[in-house]
Structures are given as structure tokens and as C-alpha cells.
A and B are shown apart, each in its own frame.
Chain A
Amino acid sequence: MTRGDKFLLAGLLLIALLSVAVLYGRLSFFPAKTESVQAVITAQGKLVRKIELVEGVKSSFVIRGLGGPSTVETDGARIRMLEAPCSGQICVKEGWIGHPGQTIVCIPGEILIRIEGTAAVDAVTR
């Protein structure tokens, strides 16, 4: 083996180790979460917001539906409809969701919150 060979071998091993660290290590920092989950929110058929649901992050924001503004809240890997102007309040009663395939639907406001990600399920029967 020449010196060049040795350098190359060492370099390759280093790259391999580094890529192991980068690709797999990033996942093991969050052992509970091996998938990225995001909530996709549409109103009247149009995409209004996409939000990554990350552990430890809280947020709330307002979505304009047909009946007026609705407040959406996220807390870590889950999301819910906090307030809605409709009379039925079905979307608010729905509570928190967080698994890919789950949805919260506000029928009067035509607002849809859908969890997407590398889904464990394709759809949820309810």
C-alpha cells in the first residue's frame, strides 16, 4: 500500500463514520420521534399553513374560515382547534390530534387540519 492508498482509506472511513453520525445520529437525538410530522391546514380548499410539529415547541395562530377567525394551537407533536366561531364546536371538541392520517374538520368554516408524515396509517376510521 502506498501512502496515497492509506490516506484514501482513512478518508473514506472518516466520511463513512461522519455520515453515520450525521444521518443516524440526528435521528437518535430524538429517540421518541423517528418521523417528521407536520400539520397541513387548508381553508376553503386552499393551503393556508404548513407547520412542523416538533417536541417542546408551542404556538398558536389564527386561521380565517368562512364563519370568521378560528384559533389553532400546537403543543409539541399535537395540534388542536382552540376556538372556532361555529355553533356546533365539533372541531373544538375533537381535541388534540397528532398521528399522521388524523384530521380535524370544521365544516361551517371549511377548515381542514390534517397531520401528514411518514404515516403509520393511511387513514383513520372514526
Chain B
Amino acid sequence: MNRKNALLFVAILLIGGLATLQYLRRSYEYKSNQFLMDTLVTITVHGKDETQLKQAVTEAYTEMHRIADLADGFPQPGTAAYNSSDVCRINQQAGKQPVRVDRDTIEMLLLAKKYNRLSDGAFDVTIGPVMELWGFGGKNPHVPPADKLREALKLVDSGNLEVNETEQTAFLRKTGMKLDLGAMAKGYATEKALQVIKKHGIQKAMIDAGGNIRVLGSNLQGKPWRIGIKDPRKSDGIVAVLPLENSSAVTSGDYYRYFEAGGKRYHHILDPRTGYPATNSMSVTAVTRDAGLADILSTVFFVLSPGNALDLARTMAGVELFLVSADGHIRHTPPLLSRLEVKPGESYRYDQGR
């Protein structure tokens, strides 16, 4: 081989090598959907190794299924699903005896009690008997008679939920009490699933569990994930765009799961203090690092009045809040001002910085 050919050979080798290098370095996006916890869960992960991505996502779904099974309140007694549900077992033994449960159930119940105290009862997982009266889980939701509602409301009291960490048991003191983890289990499961993905060394991921969003790192373009906040009255609209990194955003709204009776709209987020749907806000978005906490807080802030919700959010480190109040005002915690793109349109009022 003479020198000229050698040069050409080197050039071809160089270009071929570079092309291969770039091919190997390119990033995969792996996206998958599953119907889980009464909603659609979408997991998106980015990374170099496709098999590793798939493995991580599969394990994340397994983790979500595990939490979902623990917290499921709907299976029929006697079935396998009923026996594997900590919530069902606790409910069954209400007023009788403490039940030994999973670590994660203990964790969820402790969180629930903490935020029940912090919110002065605006969040309560012992809402079960009232939820059952409204029938939001079933086929025919309806407005329950006021006297029945009063009776059921007497059973709602997180103070009568005993959680023993050392024994790993939980106990509802009064017969007829019922747990309903609907306002927090999805977020908790989302957070656990994200931790599984993180453990696999993945740096960019997003879990969307029916609008409960948890992101890890940045998106494929290396920028913060762009999360739209749904317009509570226009189904194809967005009221704001929130850039999100290593954080979670969960929204509670009055437009999801509702029925109409006598010209009034009744949705499924009940105020545990009155037993009726909370009417202070159309939509509330809680932003914080942990998806479990964000899920709880979105309900807390939804039930509280906008003023109280904003005051409470301000006292909590690392918690931001965005809301559309019942009278159509867009409000949020001050640090969001520099991050949010608000699109109030014609339907809402937005006075910046308030």
C-alpha cells in the first residue's frame, strides 16, 4: 500500500469510526402505557441502553401495581385482590383489632395523619363512609340524603386511625370506619416507581399517572420538561406552562369524575368537614419534589380556600402552588412567577405576582 492509499484508508476509517461512535452514543426514548389504578400511566425514559430502559420501566410498573394492590378499596370480599389489599383488611377489622400491614401502607397512613393535622382536617383518609354514600367509585353516583351524610360524617376522623410503627399495624377504632386512599395512593405509587427507575441509573424520565406528573432530570433536548396545566373549563386548553426538573406536579380539579343532578355539578373531591364537594377552586396544582406529597397537597389546597391554601403553601419549604379559584382568578405562590408561562385567555383573570 503506498502512502496516498494509506491516507485515504485512514480518512475512511476515521469517518466510519466517528459515524459508529455517534450511532452508539445516541439516546433512546422508551415510552410505554399501562392502565393502572383506574387511570392511564405513561412512563417515558431516556437513556443509551434499550434493554436497561425496558427492564427499569417493567420494574417500575411492578412497583406501582404493588402499591395499587395495597391501597385498592374496591375488590369484593373473599377474592385474592381483597386479601392482598391492606386497605380492605384494615376496613374489615375496623372496631375489632389492629392489622399487620406492609411498610408502605404504614408510610402512607403516617403521611395521611400528618397532613390531616397540618390542614386542620381538610385532608382525611377516613373519608371512606362518605365516599361510599356518594358512590363515586360505582356506576350510579348520586347526592346522598342529608341525614345519612351526617351519620357517615361522624365516622370521619383521622384521630381514630391508630398507626403503630414498631408493631407495623394499623387500626380503625370505630366500627363502620373506612379508609379511602384515593387522594394519595396514585402519587405515592408514582414516587415509588420513579425511585425504581432512578435506582437503575437512568437520568431522564417522566411518569404521567393520569395527570400526576413526576419528572427526573431534563427532557431529551436537555431542557426542563414542559408541563401544561389543563384549563379547568376548556377541555382542549392549557392555562399555564410549567417547566419542571426533578420535581412533581399534581392537579386536583372539579372537572374530572363528576355527575350532574338538579342542574348542579358534583365532583369527587369531598371536603371531609362538610361531606360535600369542595367548591373553592376549579383547579389546583401542587408542585413539589415528591409525587406522593404533591398528590396529598393538591387535595389539601383544593379543599382549603384559595387564601388559606396560598398561606399554607408559603410556610412549606419546597412547595409551590398554582390555582384557578371558583371565581376564575389565577393565583400562585410568588416563586413561580419567574418560571410560569401563564395563558389566562379570556376566561380567567390573572394579576401578576398576587
Residue positions of A touching B, CB distance < 8 A: 42, 45, 78, 80, 87-88, 90, 93-99, 101-103, 105, 107, 110, 112, 119-126
Contacts and interface: CB of A to CB of B under 8 A. Distances in A.
A125 B40 contact: no
Contacts of A45: 33-34
If over half of B's interface residues share one DSSP class (helix, strand or loop), that class is named, otherwise mixed; here it is strand
B235 A122 contact: no
Nearest to A95: B235
Contacts of B38: 107
Number of chain B interface residues as a range:
35 or more
Given A96-B236, A107-B38, A110-B35, A122 B229 contact: no
A99 B238 CA distance: 9
B206 interface: yes
B175 interface: no
Contact of B236 (A42, A93, A97, A122): A97
22 contacts: A42-B33, A45-B34, A78-B236, A97-B235, A107-B38, A107-B39, A119-B226, A120-B226, A121-B228, A122-B225, A123-B42, A124-B211, A124-B228, A124-B229, A125-B211, A125-B213, A125-B227, A125-B229, A125-B249, A125-B285, A126-B253, A126-B256
Contacts of A101: 228
B33 A121 contact: no
Given A98-B236, A126-B251, 17 more contacts: A88-B257, A90-B256, A95-B235, A99-B228, A99-B236, A101-B228, A102-B236, A103-B40, A105-B39, A105-B210, A107-B39, A121-B227, A122-B225, A123-B42, A125-B229, A125-B242, A126-B230
B236 A125 contact: no
A87 B81 CA distance: 23
A95 B211 contact: no
A120 B227 contact: no
B312 interface: no
B241 interface: yes
A interface: dominant SS: loop
A125 B212 CA distance: 6
B257 A125 contact: no
A119 B42 CA distance: 16
B139 interface: yes
Which 7 A/B pairs are nearest by Cβ-Cβ distance? A95-B235, A126-B211, A121-B228, A126-B230, A124-B228, A105-B40, A125-B251
B235 A125 contact: no
A120 B228 contact: yes
B236 A112 contact: no
B40 A124 contact: no
A3 to B, nearest CB: 35
Contacts of B285: 125
B219 interface: yes
B228 A125 contact: yes
Nearest to A103: B40
B236 A123 contact: no
Contacts of B226: 119-122
B139 A87 contact: yes
Contacts of A110: 35
Contact of B228 (A42, A95, A123): A123
Contacts of B40: 103, 105, 107, 112
